[in-house]
A = this chain, B = another copy of it.
Amino acid sequence: MAHVTMKDVARLARVSPRTVSNVVNDYTHVSDDVRRRVVAAIDELGYRPNIVARNLRIGRTGLLALIVPEIDVPYFSELARAVIDAAADYGYRVMIDQTGHDHERERQLLTGHDRTMLFDGILFSPLVTQAEIAEMDSDATLPMILLGEHAFTGRFDHIAIDNTQAAYEATHHLVELGRRRIAAIGTQPKETYQTPQQRTAGYFAALDDAALPHEEELVIPAATYHRSDGYDAARRLLAMDQPPDAIFCYSDLLAMGAMRAVQDARLRIPDDVAVIGIDDIEEGRYSTPSLSTVSLDKDFIATRAVERLVERIEKPELDAQQIVAPHTLIVRDSTRPSPSDPASS
């Protein structure tokens, strides 16, 4: 069963392949009579244009690659949803790859045979710094936009929130609640990952402004940002002689784990320990208690990222651009003594 080709349609409709192509692509300048014949032939033969052949010819695939650490981390799946929808608006579809927090895999996806002409562009949410990416991607040829990295090198387009400021606001909010021993969860053992460092800087800055000491023992690293990491880190904090009265987590998912640990320890949120995260995943709106957080505008990030990438694809010579996405502090029950918190009654 050889595949039905344009030629077959052309023969049946008694026209040239050129005309079939015109009809398929909705070109003008095709007489109604001929168009009808061609359409009839297409239906009769069940012809479907071969996208791959078209792609080869026109040099575009209509495919974008979205590279994230893990698609089942809510922040990334919510982002992916927005990216896929935004891409659809421009006629693009999205392939998703996972690096699994593996630097080697990141390198592979960027440099290996994978990074080929199958995609028109890449949306990359990296763990490493831009400098390292530049090194990997030395013979960069594909338009790429970086998601969630902040330090701007001028080499790549990228979009991110102001991490330092976001962390400052979260910490400052805890200070305003009157908390004095404010812990942080989410520093990174490896120093290559910039985002946590910026958040730590914001956290310390807020402590400084409140004349609170930097207590190194209250700053807990997290290898990844899963619920289990938050849980383990919070347990460590609660087991201390002087446990914290507030915890700032570098992601909502860490915060979900931390909240669970606090409640397992029979402590009340926020009365005994207040908890705040960053990301604003939907899970935090329904948890008990609901989670205070710094909301990142994912739709903004996705829309602008895709928009910019498409622009790049069309004009590869453009200068790299830095886009700062907005963020908003959102106060919910985990930092607000509220009657709707059953654990506190």
A: residues with CB less than 8 A from B are 3, 46, 48-53, 55-56, 61, 63, 70-72, 74, 76-78, 80-81, 84-85, 93-98, 113-118, 139, 141, 227-228, 231, 256-257, 259-260, 263-264, 266, 268, 282-283, 285-288, 339-343, 345
Contact = CB atoms under 8 A, between A and B. Distances in A.
Given A263-B342, A342-B268, A117 B84 contact: no
A184 to B, nearest CB: 20
Contact of A288 (B260, B339, B340): B260
Contacts of A139: 46
Contact of A70 (B46, B81, B227): B81
Contacts of A285: 227
Nearest to A3: B117
Contacts of A3: 117
A272 to B, nearest CB: 11
A286 B341 contact: no
A201 to B, nearest CB: 29
Give the number of times this chain occurs in the complex, counting copies: 2
Contacts of A339: 263-264
Interface centre among A71, A341, A343 (most CB of B within 10 A): A71
Nearest to A43: B139
Which of A76, A113, A263, A266 has the most B CB atoms < 10 Å from its CB? A263
Contacts of A81: 70-72, 98
Contacts of A56: 50, 52-53, 56
A98 B85 contact: yes
A51 B117 contact: yes
A251 to B, nearest CB: 13
